[in-house]
Amino acid sequence: MLPRCDIIAGMPSVLLVSSNGAGMGHLTRLLAYGRRMPADVRRHVVSMSQAVPVVASEGLTWEYLPSQGATGLRPATWRSLLADRMSEVLGRVDPDVLVFDGTHPYSGLDVALAAHPRTRAVWSRRAMWKPGRNGAQLDKAAWFDVVLEPGDLAADADRGETVTAAATRVRPVTMLDREDLSDRATARAALGLPADGPLALVSLGAGNINDTGDEVGAAVRALRSQGVGACVTAPSIAERAYAGDDVHLVRHFPLSEHFRAFDHVVTAAGYNSVHEALRLGVPALLVPNDATSLDDQVTRARHAAERGWALTARTLTGGRADALVEELVARGPELAARAQAQDPGNGAADAAQEILRVAGLAAAPGTGTAS
């Protein structure tokens, strides 16, 4: 039986707001925070991602707010819609704190927050911006009580605008830790995969940003030549999923829960993909997507390769895939072990604690504040 509103009304609540982005990164990060909050804290999601219904699997309620791109509205009209919509949600939910995860806080959010001053506000924004880009957005930190920056394993190579910006920085954030993973047999059964034989997860392209069909095809062919079966992600937001002979389509959220099903991963170099592969110990070949507007995937992947945590290549096409996959099979486990040995741990719990502190619901955590 569903709880009644008048019971829920007295509970502390957190409103998790994500921009649409290209993949699942913003939502996943918010869920990483949300699942580390006490059970008596109500967590409600407002997202511009059409993948938002997945949050129900975490027991969270959700609402969809279409992005400007999804509607085709004029930017100014959409910002007005955003302001009205967020004002209505803030008035109705009356959350103790709003957490916005995205690199571009939209005008209109400030209007809604100003109209609801009781609610504290946190900007969760990852780093690794392409150098020289998006700097003007940092001024929007003034809309928020705190800027929370999930750490990046490639932070030493970061040359983007956020490097010198004030933020509360925590260790890299992933939704799961190794102890949360299912065992290999359970994972393969859950995903409908063969129980035996080597398998690789191929996760190229950030959602529907661009067509990576050729990269996927090259990866699958090279894996097959090494006797490795290919598993391709079929995210719910993808316009189309690659389906070819001998390719297993896998669909689960969070897929990382079943990472032990895979012996290798060939993946784009987005924040979540890289940190999940490295932190959870899956030998990885990183193929950065340079078509993203802001995320510096090339630098993140190059740094991981330089540190000896993973392999990287700008493209698998043009006959490059065979040698790369051969090297992945041969050296991948050694690289993955090195990455795990240097893993600083998951910052998600620290981030959750910081959010609750800002909301006045918890004491200050042991996070580092840089300025």
Partner 1 sequence: MTPTTSRTRQQQLARWARRAPGYRTAVDRVLPAVRRNATLTDVVFRVFLPRHGVGTLPVPLVPGRHLSGRDTALLPVVGIVGLGLSDDQVGSLVEEVATLQRAERSFRVLLVLDRPAFALARSHGYAVEVLVPHAAWAGHPQGASPPVPWEDYVGRRLADVLDHYQLWHLARSTPEGRLDPLDEVLLRNVAARLPASLQVDTAPVTRGDP
Residue numbers at the binding site for partner 1 (CB under 8 A): 2-6, 8-9, 11, 13, 42, 44, 50, 52-53, 61, 63-64, 66, 70-74, 77-78, 80-81, 84-85, 88, 91-95, 236-237, 239
Rounded least distance, CB 70 to partner 1, Å = 6
Rounded least distance, CB 27 to partner 1, Å = 13
Rounded least distance, CB 361 to partner 1, Å = 14
Rounded least distance, CB 21 to partner 1, Å = 15
- Residue 73 or 305: the one with the smaller Cβ distance to partner 1 is 73
- Residue 74 or 314: the one with the smaller Cβ distance to partner 1 is 74
- Residue 76 or 330: the one with the smaller Cβ distance to partner 1 is 76
- Residue 74 or 159: the one with the smaller Cβ distance to partner 1 is 74
From CA 279, how far away is CA 172, in angstroms rounded?
Answer: 9
Q: Which of 37, 21, 11 is nearest to 100 (CA)?
A: 21
- Residue 99 or 187: the one with the smaller Cβ distance to partner 1 is 99
Q: How far does CA 273 lie from the centroid of its chain?
A: 7
Rounded least distance, CB 362 to partner 1, Å = 19
- Residue 94 or 306: the one with the smaller Cβ distance to partner 1 is 94
Rounded least distance, CB 95 to partner 1, Å = 7
Rounded least distance, CB 264 to partner 1, Å = 30
- Residue 52 or 220: the one with the smaller Cβ distance to partner 1 is 52
